[in-house]
Amino acid sequence: MRSGPLVLDRVALVGVLNATPDSFSDGGRYLDPARAAAAAEEMAGDGATMLDLGAESTRPGARPVPAEEESRRLLPVLRAVRAAVRLPISVDTTKAVVARQALAEGADLLNDVSAGRFDPAMLPLCAERGVPIVLMHMQGTPVTMQVDPRYGDVVAEVAAFLEERAHAALAVGVAPDAIVLDPGIGFGKTVAHNCALLARLDLVASLGYPVLVGVSRKGFIGELLGGRATGERLHGTAAAVALAVARGARLVRVHDVGAMRDVVRVAEAVAGA
């Protein structure tokens, strides 16, 4: 990254900040740049390795946001967060035009939940600018993905998809050490699919790229706990984060940075023993 290499000898804590009115977990909270900057400072103090800023919700059923609207939400928040903390900042977007503006405003890497499929200019932009990118698996689109997700072998299919997307990135000139893979927990998956992916995350890790996992407060945790509300999923999130780390996750995308720092430090010590 422009700020130097992100060394993953320890598991990285990626703090989530959504500049959206409608995110399932923190919608409406960080549309205001000053509030977002204060939250970023708190996450930095809690031990975040980097931050992930998004301005388009990808929760199940969410409608796409036009690029102008996404930029209008994102850029003031990004400027405020950039001025507030020195941590690397990734931007969660599928649109190259938004990504290009974000890189000009000091973003360090990109997080594309479509793995470069929604906008063909995304991977070439990463190659041109020499920035890392997270390539995530999703079945369908946010509007339809939870309607009736189906797989033959979810773990093998997700791993094959991610390998193909990594090759697509390499083919346009993205550097091998600028690629992060993500199984896309909750993106076109049932509870059983999500559990299988976490249980066999080692297969995704064996592709040879660092793996990022986003389980924080997600719906499958609520379902496993009998319909638990979003704000009541901290301990369920901790279990999923610990197991993801044990199976090879090198980055975890979380809302509760301070709590998950403790979970990660203990899980990685046990996993590495």
Stretch 171-210: interaction string toward ligand HH2, x if CB under 6 A: -----------x-xx-------------------------
Beta carbon of residue 20, minimum distance to ligand HH2 (angstroms, whole number): 5
Residue 25 or 203 having the CB closest to ligand HH2: 25
Whether 117 is catalytic is no
Helix or strand or coil: residue 100? helix
The piece of 12-20, 80-88, 93-101, 237-245 that touches ligand HH2 (CB under 6 A) is 12-20
CB of 273 to ligand HH2, least distance (A): 28
Does 98 help bind ligand HH2 (rule: CB under 6 A)? no
**Complex with ligand HH2: residue 55 or 75, whichever CB lies closer:** 55
Contact status, residue 174 vs residue 124, Cβ threshold 8 Å: no
Nearer of residues 23 and 49 to ligand HH2, judged by Cβ: 23
Q: How far is the CB of 233 from ligand HH2 (least distance, A)?
A: 11
Q: Count the Cβ atoms, other than its own, within 10 Å of residue 175.
A: 13
Tokens of 73: 């939400």
Is 218 considered catalytic here? yes
Nearer to ligand HH2, 85 or 212 (CB): 212
Please name the residue ranges forming H helices in the chain. Answer: 33-45, 67-84, 96-104, 122-129, 154-171, 191-199, 201-205, 219-224, 234-246, 257-271
Alpha-carbon distance of 38 to 89, in angstroms, equals 15
The answer to the question of residue 23 lying near ligand HH2 (CB under 6 A) is yes
* C-alpha to C-alpha distances, 147 to 144, 219, 225, nearest whole angstrom: 6, 14, 21
Q: Which is nearer to ligand HH2, 16 or 98 (CB)?
A: 16
Q: Does 49 bind ligand HH2 (CB under 6 A)?
A: no
Is residue 111 close enough to count as binding ligand HH2 by CB under 6 A?
yes
Separation between Cα atoms, residue 199 and residue 44, nearest integer Å: 30
Residue tagged active-site, from 100, 218, 247, 261: 218
- Binding ligand HH2 (rule: CB under 6 A), the pick from 37, 51, 59, 222 is 59
Find, among 153, 116, 152, the residue nearest to 132 by Cα. 116
Please select the residue that binds ligand HH2; options are 214, 219, 222, 236, rule is CB under 6 A: 214
> What is the rounded distance in angstroms from the CA atom of residue 61 to the CA atom of residue 203?
29
Amino acid at 19: A
Q: Give Cβ neighbours of residue 114 (< 8 Å, ≥ 6 apart).
A: 94, 122, 136, 138
Q: Applying CB under 6 A, which residues contact ligand HH2?
A: 16, 18, 20, 23-25, 54, 57-59, 92, 111, 113, 134, 136, 182, 184-185, 212, 214, 253
- Residues that are catalytic: 218, 253
